[in-house]
Amino acid sequence: MTVIDANRMNEIEARYPDYFHRSFRQRFGGLMILIATLLYSLYAVWFFDLPKLFAEAHWERVGIYLSQWVSYDVQPEFRIQDDGSIEVRYPRFSPLGDNPHPDWLVNNPDGSITLSISGTSRSVTVSKNKTIVTAHGVSVPVEVSSGAPKVIGPVPGWMTVYDDNVLADLGFAGNVSISVDRVKIRKRFIGWANFIFDTQSSFFDKPIGEVVSLIISEPRIKPDQSNLSLAFDDIWNNSEWQHGDVWTKLFQTIVMAFLGTLLGSLAAFPLAFLAARNITPNRLLNQILKRFFDFLRSVDMLIWALFLTRAFGPGPLAGSGAIFLTETGTLGKLYSEGLENIDNKPREGIKSTGAQTVLVHRYGIMPQIVPVIVSQTLYQWESNVRGATIIGAVGAGGIGLKLWEAMRTKANWENVAYMVILILIVVFLFDAASNALRHRLMGTKTH
């Protein structure tokens, strides 16, 4: 064991003062940051009243909305007539068309009707005096001949009895509402109804093979139009999914992002040279332009869109203008900072030859700044595809407005899912294209 005397200790302390004489900040800085973070988290919980927020949130709506994103429902209604017959009705604009005959609805010999909600495990049999609901391994009869529906036997947990009706909740598969003179059923299907052809199309409810055969061969459904052209028109003008309008609005969003970014980069490029201190040695002009860039980008794109929709009315012009103003500020700042960080030696070398200012900028500055300009511009273009969707919701046109209209109905959630998926695909493609262009222009490899 080596013993270190006092002189040796003093020598070590003098040689490494940072380890033996640490400041208060160095000793307790990490702990103070941890405590401050914890205190701020507690303050945020109190300020936003998170316990109450989570307690009062409508979490059940999450499941409802998600189920409607990936499914649709059919709502047949069974009306019991005075003579004992049962009339089946469907709501107007039913996904099954005006005169449906689904195979999951069976007319029994005794006059009753059996509807399969989910295979053989969940079904409803409706007769004149009684409705039988089968689910979760049990069959529950409900008497409907008296003044109010009455459950015969014990009431299961998935069934609720009210004064004038009985409600059976069958989960994702649907539900059943039973009253004295009618039975309403909601039957849910996975998928999107009538996504290709709506109920008004001549190709509606036809098998795929028959549709392909009609498109390829004759006879024509309409004498003055080929079947291929008719099929395209029916898909493009689908009244339920509005493919034509959705794709047109999506193209408007892409054009808004491209035009706004392009005009913003063209405006920011010359202004950046005037704002850069090492290019334009005029401090007053530098500061004025930099504060101008700060003003343009400090006002959010959404706020610019609100201003411009009041000035020019709703439409893509307001959206492109909002992106243009925001990008002029953002790209102007990025370009000017890139110019201020260039190596001045190539520029000074070319200037020493007596070259004109334009040639000095062309050969002494541009080779250094072009990769930065291209990279930042492509990134902003990619980002503005997403931003254009958001500003569209306030009236700036594009698919954002269409998406907001679908969400306001609180019923067309499958249409919302369709547009969200389209937006995600477009953003993904633009992200991949932007990354590929940046790597190609900057000479780096993608991984």
β pairing state of 166-169 and 122-126: unpaired
Q: pLDDT grade, residue 77 (50/70/90)?
A: very high
The residue from 190, 212, 231 where one domain ends is 190
Examine residue 21 and state whether it is found in any structural domain, yes or no.
Answer: no
pLDDT for 387 beyond 80: yes
The residue from 190, 205, 226 where one domain ends is 190
Examine residue 163 and state whether it is found in any structural domain, yes or no.
Answer: yes
Q: Which residue, 208, 213, 149, is CA-closest to 181?
A: 149
Question: Which CATH number is 298's domain given?
Answer: 1.10.3720.10
**Angle made by CA atoms 90, 95, 100, in degrees to the nearest 5:** 55
pLDDT at 18: 65
3-state DSSP helix/strand/coil % of the chain, to nearest 5: 55, 15, 30
pLDDT at 133: 92
Regarding whether 322 and 404 lie in a shared domain, the answer is yes
3-state secondary structure of 114: strand
pLDDT at 443: 64
What dihedral angle (degrees, nearest 10) is formed by the CA atoms of 127, 132, 135, 139?
-140
Regarding whether 178 and 106 lie in a shared domain, the answer is yes
**Cis, peptide link before residue 207, omega less than 30° from 0:** no
The token pair that represents 254 in the structure block:
């892409």
Distance, in Å, from the CA atom of 48 to the CA atom of 57, rounded to the nearest integer, reads: 13
Regarding whether 250 and 155 lie in a shared domain, the answer is no
Examine residue 129 and state whether it is found in any structural domain, yes or no.
Answer: yes
Q: Give the mean pLDDT of 130-137.
A: 90
Q: Which residue, 439, 406, 432, 409, is CA-closest to 420?
A: 406
Cβ–Cβ under 8 Å, residues 336 and 276: yes
What are residue 440's phi and psi, to 5 degrees? -70, -45
111 φψ region: left (φ > 0), alpha (ψ -120 to 50), beta (else): left
Regarding whether 248 and 179 lie in a shared domain, the answer is no
Examine residue 152 and state whether it is found in any structural domain, yes or no.
Answer: yes
Regarding whether 185 and 247 lie in a shared domain, the answer is no
Residue 134: exposure state from Cβ atoms within 10 A (0-12, 13-18, ≥19): buried
Regarding whether 275 and 165 lie in a shared domain, the answer is no
Regarding whether 185 and 268 lie in a shared domain, the answer is no
Regarding whether 250 and 163 lie in a shared domain, the answer is no
Regarding whether 358 and 262 lie in a shared domain, the answer is yes
Distance, in Å, from the CA atom of 366 to the CA atom of 288, rounded to the nearest integer, reads: 24
Regarding whether 261 and 133 lie in a shared domain, the answer is no
CB atoms inside a 10 Å sphere around CB 393 = 18
Examine residue 5 and state whether it is found in any structural domain, yes or no.
Answer: no
The alpha carbon of 15 is separated from its chain's Cα centroid by a whole number of angstroms, namely: 60
**Angle made by CA atoms 186, 84, 163, in degrees to the nearest 5:** 55
Q: Which helix (H) or strand (E) segment is 274 a member of?
A: helix 243-275
Q: 239-248 pLDDT, tens per residue?
A: 889 899 999 9
Strands (E) in 298-364, as ranges, are: none
The alpha carbon of 55 is separated from its chain's Cα centroid by a whole number of angstroms, namely: 26
Distance, in Å, from the CA atom of 211 to the CA atom of 95, rounded to the nearest integer, reads: 19
Of 24-28, 67-71, 135-139, the range with the lowest mean pLDDT is: 24-28
Examine residue 323 and state whether it is found in any structural domain, yes or no.
Answer: yes
pTM passes above 0.85: no
Distance, in Å, from the CA atom of 263 to the CA atom of 269, rounded to the nearest integer, reads: 10
Residue range of the domain that includes 96: 72-190
**Cis, peptide link before residue 109, omega less than 30° from 0:** no
Examine residue 348 and state whether it is found in any structural domain, yes or no.
Answer: yes
The residue from 167, 190, 213 where one domain ends is 190
Number of structural domains found in the chain:
2
The token pair that represents 433 in the structure block:
């294209």
pLDDT at 124: 92
pLDDT at 369: 83
3-state secondary structure of 47: helix
Q: pLDDT grade, residue 397 (50/70/90)?
A: confident
What amino acid is encoded at 410 in this protein? K
pLDDT for 439 beyond 80: no
Distance, in Å, from the CA atom of 177 to the CA atom of 182, rounded to the nearest integer, reads: 8
pLDDT at 60: 75
Regarding whether 113 and 251 lie in a shared domain, the answer is no
Examine residue 236 and state whether it is found in any structural domain, yes or no.
Answer: no
Q: Give the mean pLDDT of 133-152.
A: 87
Regarding whether 293 and 150 lie in a shared domain, the answer is no
